[in-house]
Each structure stands twice: as structure tokens, then as C-alpha cells.
Structure 1
Amino acid sequence: MPELSEGTLDLDGATLAYDDQPGAGPAVVAAHGLTSSSAADAAGGVFDWSPIAAGGRRLVRYDARGHGRSTGRPVPADYTWERLADDLLALLDVVSPNEAVDAIGVSMGAGTILHAVIKRPERFRRLALVIPPTAWETRAAQSANYRQVATVMREHGVEAVTAAAASLPPLPILDAGGWTLPPSEIDETIAAEVMLGAADADFPSPDAVAGIQQPVLLRPWVGDPGHPVSTSQRLHGLLPNSTLEIQRTPDDLRALGGRILDFFG
């Protein structure tokens, strides 16, 4: 397999870090979820994109601002999905300036991609939205939770939130597969601001989403109130060219990377 290369991109208030695995065909760009990073996804084994690179496709993975190896500043507005979409589009202009990409988005990454494809639809060929989070009518409760988390972080530190999260029961699908979610990959000095940005984030309007023409693969999982199947069902009803596949077992998750490779073609 060709050697992985690393790069950085300087943006307003942040430097994005990314990895580029050479391969054939349009680039596949992967956007991770809130508190994660490209390295955490790869190490955790739940969101395993190695079949895409092994299948010969070029794979670009990056860390959202404030996450992993990327930097950020203590400005909550920097971490809304609409703002993160601008970062993604800037990255695409560097890694694939002349060709549309296939894009994978997990949770926060799904929101990022939806905003990005509406802003510049010509930059995208096919989309895979994995565990889309709460949105629209279901977003308010999750937003309130994120604001509460930000308050605890400011008053008691990130460690208090980490300890509280560790005491919660694991998601059934992850527990059955023997997986645990990795620790937070947010820069602790700006963690509260990142959470406040997430609290203010939402999908584009349903009317805007309905205008997306790209083929879209929706892969929610069951048993997770923060990523309810209802979000993907709503998206499936809106998106004119979408496929909905609900992940119910660990084997569904193990097959995720290969299924996305097949969908991208």
C-alpha cells in the first residue's frame, strides 16, 4: 500500500491536520464525530475506513478544528456544523481541487457534510452519512445537554465530564461487539467552547436538504438517543436519492467500511 502522507492547512483561527492515503479514483474524505479524531476512529475500530484504502481508493482523513492534531480558538461559533463545513470545503480545494469527492461523515461529520454539499454541491459525488445525530425538532434536548456539559467543564474541569461519561452504560451495539468509545480528543483548553458550538449546531433546513441530488447512503444504528434512527428516516424521506440501512448488530458495524466502498463504486 502506498505510503501515508500528512499535511496541515492554515485557516482563520485554526490549523487543520490531515492524512492522505494515495489511491485511485475520486478522493474519499472522512469527517469524524464530536470529541473524536481521525486517529481515534482508526484505533477504536468502530468506524474503520481501512477497507476503503485497501480497496485501492484514495482516503483523506482530517481532524476538525479543536480536535485531535488540529488547533482551534475559544470561540463557540467556530464549532457549529455550518462553520465546520467551510473548513471542509477549504480542505477539498487543497486535496482535490479539480475533482468532486466522495464523503463520509460520522455524527458531527454528517452535519458538516450536509452544510458543505448545500454550499458547494459540485464538490461532492456521493455521500455516506453514518449515525446522523439529533436534528431539527429533536435537537433542543441535545443542545441543552451540551450546554450543561460546557458549564460542568468550566466549573469542574474536563475530568469531571469524563468521569461522568464513564459511569454511563455502554451502547448495546458497542457492548455486544466488545468496543468502547475512545477518550475525548478535544483540546481541553477550549473544550467548553467546542461543546457550546455543538449546542448551536443543527442541520440545514429540510427544504435545503431536499435539494441535495447526490446519492446518499444513510447508516444509523439502534439504541442511541443522541443518534436516533428517526433522524435518518427523516433524511431518507427528504433526500431524493438516498438508501437507508439500519445497523442493528456488531456485524453490521464490522461491514460498514466495505459497504461504503461498494456504495461509492
Structure 2
Amino acid sequence: MPEVREATLDLDGTTLSYEECSGAGPAIVGLHGLGSSRAADDASGYFDWSALTTSGRRLVRYDARGHGRSTGRPVPAEYAWPHLADDLLALLDAISPNEPVDAFGASMGVGTLLHAVIKRPDRFRRLALIIPPTAWESRAAQSANYQQIAALLREHGIAALTAATASRPPLPILEAGGWTITPPDIDGSIMADVMLGASDTDLPAAEAIKTIQQPVLLRPWTDDPAHPLATSERLHELLPNAVIEIQRTPDDLRALGTRLATYFD
């Protein structure tokens, strides 16, 4: 079994917590979605990265600023995707200073990755974009939703958000697989700030995305307004070296980790 090393990286306004699974070759770096973390991904069951830990490659996963074991401060702008991209690039300089990495990100992680690869294309070999979020024309409605969540948190606290989330119907693919969405893994004292930061951010402009030359694997799922298929279809059009594989069933989702291990091999 590969060894797992826990470590931290001190940056302005945060101490990033990450884990490094021993292995050979260029690192594979994993990014989670808004409200999630390494622990939350593992607990959810539907994102299973175990195939990557046994692939023989070095796997690095980290908790984004303000999430999981990483710290944050009440500054909404620090949770916008361009700022999170700077955190990612600083982490890459620490864990792989002389070699580009392969990277996968889910939802917020997609936004972080796209901004990072545009800023520093030399730091990346291949990308996998899992359930890309709302973007461009569809982003305004989602931004308003995050602003409402922030207002709810400030007025009524986390219990009110938990109750509101529990009343929503489950996503079809998760319900069919017997999975549920885990509660947000964010410090309650800054959760509203994280949501406001998410509300004031978007994917890079289309012209910038067209410049990305790395191979890209798109893995959206269906029937999720927060991660519409239209975003992935548009990214597929814009990215010059991309393939798209739509996850329609629980078995498609269960195969995700193995597919990434093959893709990054």
C-alpha cells in the first residue's frame, strides 16, 4: 500500500492542508468542489478516488482555502476562483517545482483549474474537469442563489441552511446510486464569506479558454441545474483538445476513479 503523508502550506490568509500519496512519475493533483473537502469527498461515496491511490502515481489532494482542514478568513474575494487558482499554483511550486502535473477538479475545482492553467500553462500536462458548474449566461442565477445562502447564514445560522438543504429533492444520479450529499465542510464563522466569494466569480472568458492546449477530459453528469450539461458542451466546443464523456448512471459515476487512472496513465 502507498504511504500517505499529511502536510500544510502557509500562504497569505490561509494554511492549506494537503495529503500526498507516495508514487512515481508526475504528480496527480485533485481539487474538490464548493463546500466539500478531502474528508467530505471520501465520506460521500460517489466520488471514489481509490483507483488513483493504487495506480502507482503520486496523488496529492488538498482542502481549498476555508474548507476542511484548511483555514480561511472572512474576506469573500479570497474565495473567488482566480484567487483559489493562485493557491493551487503556490501548492504546485511546493510539491512539484520542476515538473508539470496532471490535475482533476470537481465543480469549484473546475473553475480553479481553468483559471490556473490560463495563468501558468507550463504547470499542467493533462486536465480532467468533473461536473463543470454554471458559467457565463447561467452563472447569474447561481450567483443569486449563493447570495441568498449567505444572507440566510448571517440571519439564521447553519441550522437554517441545513434544514433548507434537506428539503430539496436529491439529484437523480445520486438517489439512484443510494448516495446523499454531505453537509458543507466549511468553518461556520466564514461560510457566508465563502458563499459570497463563489457568487462573485465565473469561468474564464471563452477566448481565454480557447488558448488551453492541454488534453482535457470532461465528465459532466445530468439533471443538475448547478452543474448543467450546457457548460460542459460549451467547454467541449471551446477547448481544442477535449473529449466529453457524460455520466448518466450510478455505474458511470462508480467508474470515474478508474477512468481517471487510465486517462492519466
Amino acid at match of 2:256: L
Distance 2:59 2:181 in 1: 23
Structure 2 residue 175 is matched with structure 1 residue 175: yes
- The percentage of counterpart residues that share the same residue type is 70
Distance 1:242 1:201 in 2: 24
Structure 1, residues 46-76: CA drift from partner, whole Å, max 9, x if none?
Answer: 1111101111111100000100000000000
CA RMSD of aligned residues (A): 0.6
Amino acid at match of 2:202: D
What's the offset of the Cα at 1:2? 2.3
Structure 2 residue 156 is matched with structure 1 residue 156: yes
Structure 2 residue 23 is matched with structure 1 residue 26: no
Partner of 2:257: 257
Partner of 1:84: 84
SS of equivalent residue, structure 1 residue 78: helix
Amino acid at match of 1:30: G
SS of equivalent residue, structure 2 residue 243: strand
Partner of 1:202: 202
Distance 1:222 1:210 in 2: 24
Distance 2:21 2:166 in 1: 33
Structure 2 residue 17 is matched with structure 1 residue 7: no
Amino acid at match of 1:77: A
SS of equivalent residue, structure 2 residue 189: helix
Amino acid at match of 1:108: M
Distance 1:224 1:64 in 2: 23
What's the offset of the Cα at 1:220? 0.3
SS of equivalent residue, structure 1 residue 111: helix
Structure 1, residues 22-67: CA drift from partner, whole Å, max 9, x if none?
Answer: 1111101000000000111112111111101111111100000100
Partner of 2:39: 39
Distance 1:252 1:6 in 2: 31
Distance 1:75 1:236 in 2: 33
SS of equivalent residue, structure 1 residue 189: coil
Amino acid at match of 1:116: A
What's the offset of the Cα at 1:263? 1.1
Amino acid at match of 1:197: G
Partner of 1:242: 242
Distance 1:3 1:214 in 2: 30
Unaligned segments of structure 1, at least 5 residues: none
Partner of 1:142: 142
TM-score of the superposed pair, with normalisation by structure 2? 0.99
Conserved? CA contact 2:14–2:71, under 8 Å:
yes
Amino acid at match of 2:125: R
Amino acid at match of 2:49: W
Runs of 4+ that moved beyond 3 A:
none
Conserved? CA contact 2:11–2:87, under 8 Å:
yes
SS of equivalent residue, structure 1 residue 188: coil
Distance 1:115 1:38 in 2: 21
What's the offset of the Cα at 1:183? 1.0
SS of equivalent residue, structure 1 residue 196: helix
Distance 2:120 2:66 in 1: 24
Structure 2 residue 185 is matched with structure 1 residue 185: yes
Alignment of 1:94-133 (within 5 A): 94-133=94-133
Residues paired across the two proteins, number: 265
SS of equivalent residue, structure 1 residue 127: strand
Distance 2:95 2:42 in 1: 20
TM-score of the superposed pair, with normalisation by structure 1? 0.99
Structure 1, residues 117-170: CA drift from partner, whole Å, max 9, x if none?
Answer: 000000000000000000011100000000010000000001101110011110
Distance 2:255 2:262 in 1: 11
Conserved? CA contact 2:2–2:54, under 8 Å:
no
Partner of 1:222: 222
Amino acid at match of 1:90: A
Distance 2:45 2:91 in 1: 25
Structure 2 residue 63 is matched with structure 1 residue 63: yes
SS of equivalent residue, structure 2 residue 92: helix
Distance 1:15 1:118 in 2: 24
